[in-house]
A and B are shown apart, each in its own frame.
Chain A
Amino acid sequence: MTLIHEPDLGTPARQSEVLVTVEVDGKMVMVPAGTSVMRAAALAGVGVPKLCATDNLEPFGSCRLCLVEIEGRRGTPASCTTPVEDHMRVTTQTPQLAGLRRGVMELYISDHPLDCLTCAANGDCELQDMAGAVGLREVRYGYEGANHLDALKDETNPYFTFDAAKCIVCSRCVRACEEVQGTFALTIAGRGFDSKVSAGGHSFVDSECVSCGACVQACPTATLTEKSIIDAGQPDHSVVTTCGYCGVGCSFKAEMKGNEVVRMMPFKDGKANHGHSCVKGRFAWGYATHRDRVLSPMIRSKITDPWREVSWDEAISYAASEFKRIQAKYGQDAVGGITSSRCTNEETFLVQKLVRAGFGNNNVDTCARVCHSPTGYGLKTTLGTSAGTQDFDSVEAADVIVVIGANPTDAHPVFASQMKRRLRAGAKLIVVDPRRIDLIKLPHVEADYHLPLRPSTNVAVINAMAHVVVTEDLVDHAYVQERCDPAAFARWAAFVAEERNSPEALEATTGVSAADLRGAARLYATGGNAAIYYGLGVTEHSQGSTMVMGIANLAMATGNIGRPGVGVNPLRGQNNVQGSCDMGSFPHEFSGYRHVSDEGVRTMFEDAWNVGLQSEPGLRIPNMFDAALDGTFKGLYIQGEDIVQSDPNTKHVTAGLGAMECIIVQDLFLTETASYAHVFLPGSSFLEKDGTFTNAERRISRVRKAVPPKAGLADWEITIALSKALGYDMAYSHPSEIMDEIARLTPTFAGVSYDRLEELGSIQWPCNEGAPNGTPIMHEAGFVRGQGLFMVTEYVPTEERTNDRFPLLLTTGRILSQYNVGAQTRRTANVVWHDEDRLEIHPWDAENRGINDGDLVTITSRIGETALRALISERMQPGVVYTTFHHPDSGANVVTTEFADWATDCPEYKVTAVQVNRTGQRSEWQLDYLALREATTQVAGSSTDTR
């Protein structure tokens, strides 16, 4: 392996139909009109010296190093800011240009510390490179004059330093923060000699900076440098892989020294991120080597026994013998498995195969149950495919962007940056959310409409929008006629047109002003290309699936599906939640969303797997707990999910787990779920294995092994071993063979293979004979299901209502620096930004209860009680409180109820009626939790604290 260097062409690519021919130093090159001379030269193989230019930023023209001569023009224009013209003849090297460049470099170097040999950027410094390139041999100005060599370092950010003495004030960082990230945290303060980079007058950690790393990547000197590089030195080899955190699926180069990862560098050629990143993927990978990682298999017969470290063989054969015993005693259906959205497609496919073929039942489910299962159901019903319709780049063609129940700047930050860029360029924005999320007002971005609905009234809002579209005749009739089922459309149109669905009639229910709602609906229907992006604020409701259908209805009625710039786009949470659903993780369907009762499909799997398969759906996760409490479900194999922390109504979950006889947990850490386990199989992080992830835009990207599995086996190998011990042999020597099997058995993946992925970089499914290079935009020629199906979406109020005892509505979400249940991010320096979960409460509600910012408060629902510190915030509307669930002792799910989506059982996390009061102490559950945690995480003969 070598270190991958991506060429820097100096300025961004331009799109144009018109091609122009340019001659650079005698070499001819053809480029799109609008391309800079610098980029054209680079494409012709001629590197022009540069410092302030880089190809992911607009040219700025400040350093004057890139001067060239152009035939017929006077002077020496800067090649980065000069666009090419047809038949232009450019010369990049003359004695005069060389002299000018040397002069520029002399000035820079005279104010630069000459500690190159001990500098962290040694070997990766553009200033150093340019000094070499221009042939700098002397610095006539001397180092005695006024300089910045004593400027102070800012080391407050946990991941990078700012060493002002080394700054050449090229503004690349400032521009990266603006153009790439869209945060505008940096400015150049002062003028002339006094100008310097400033994080708004604050230290980095106290500034608006969100630690995305774009400025660090852009900096041509050692001024902004990763602390990991300062500690370890420059990397010597790298592999391209995919981020293991969120559903954006950013591509990174994992850069290493030996078997140690020293930096994660966003990959410019990554189609989901185009070289950008967020704090999690870029910096928060330290958990992979955290001392809490369990590296030895462990077993115990009771959860109150200490763990006993054993060999892989012993752990696997113990687990297998327990499952065999349970099945012999309680029946074939008494065991099941849970696949992980953090593991690869190949690993997920194997777990569901193990359950169906090895256990001989369909009791397999996945954590998508608790997040986007309604997306699958709703989009499959209406459009025919359980996935979003667009690629991320489609947003660049959107004129109106609607964000419903999603908080992209925190949860999908890299896509949010792309969306913000489009909004700064003039697209309109409608936000439907109970909270004032950041996107509503940002530098140069302001929502045209914010519809602050009461939690749980999504369907009422979407019906009211549809009412406006239908009654004001904003329907795209030609589109509907051509593509949709006419009877279903007529029925739906008649339904939404009823007066009870008007914005005015629903105003009292939703809390949204009828005028605003009408305005938003008109804008959506008539503003050009309109795209809807939604998140868990849509799905995690008792009407989650209904709302997804409501969104699809609205998009079909206005002709907003089937081309760039439009669409219905679920923002998926975990890195591989799309993939885990695609791979057949649900109890009722095989890979590619085909029902187990489908005779033809099942026979194909039976032949391929050489075993009979059940034709009836198996148990969903909550049903597994019910069955466990009934005494009919006794064994569960859980790959990489922490259901105790992530699933609702914790007490029901733990009671269910407590009633089982053998729980196998395969994970990196002793998770909350592991407290209830009898077998612990140490898993591998995304850096330790080969495979693929599928992101929110259906993009399949390679995960490449950067370092060997710390505990010895990759997760797919563990599943194979377990299966073999159970008597069902799966023979694969590499994940590519698993993908080949997936492709053979799944029509939407038919054209996918590791070779093709190598060739194309990434592939968006469907990829088959009809679409050999994949499908960025779906439903272009017509809906996958044939005719688009409008579904009537009656608003049914949730039964979870406020009353005198529980007058507030609790809703949950997450923040940028932490991820899901936090098992990974809590084990990184990201805790600087979020070291505890807080309860956000409106000042009015706080005052009524005598609550001050920072007070410990109890949150009580009819299910349970927990205590958190209060954060008084006007982002909430009165009557609504909010918290995150990144820390296990917060117990947010101790209070959430068992109410769930009617179609998919996706829990109603977003709505719980609660009361909030000041308190002096943690809740009983929290105290019990700490005691139980203490009691169930002991390892025999070990003094290490594995928590």
Chain B
Amino acid sequence: MPAVSMTVNGTPVTADIDPRTLLVQFLREHLRLTGTHVGCDTSQCGACVVHVNGEAVKSCAMLAVQADGAEVLTIEGVAQGDTLHPMQEAFRDNHGLQCGFCTPGMIMTALDMVRRLGPVLDDHTIREELEGNLCRCTGYHNIVKSIAAGARAMAADDTPRRAAAE
């Protein structure tokens, strides 16, 4: 079985795995990081979004062996101890979740959006960027509000964070 090594939320990990292990299975079943969710079989829902080398990817559409040597950031690596990331805080403040199943993917997608497009995001841009993230509860309105607020809060926040989350 091939060996893979990667850094997950700042911690180096190495394992021998079956090559067909998806990155999301590796995170959930081997590392027990169950914050990353699986919501579909078709790579369409975005519940599994994590960052690989700083970019948002669907971890259900990537083999763990393809992440060999990579830096991976999951929802578990976003907060600083007990202090939520400003984007997480914004979802709480703006009622951006109901059941919460889609939320980890929404937040990882939102952080990637801010990285690429900056902290000033209009509603239209946010909705376009959420193309690959489905939510069955909220109707999206409060998610869009949360992301806009979270992005603004990130610009005002100067706490040092893991590179990939910035």
Binding partners A and B: no
Residues in A lying within 8 Å of B, measured CB to CB: none
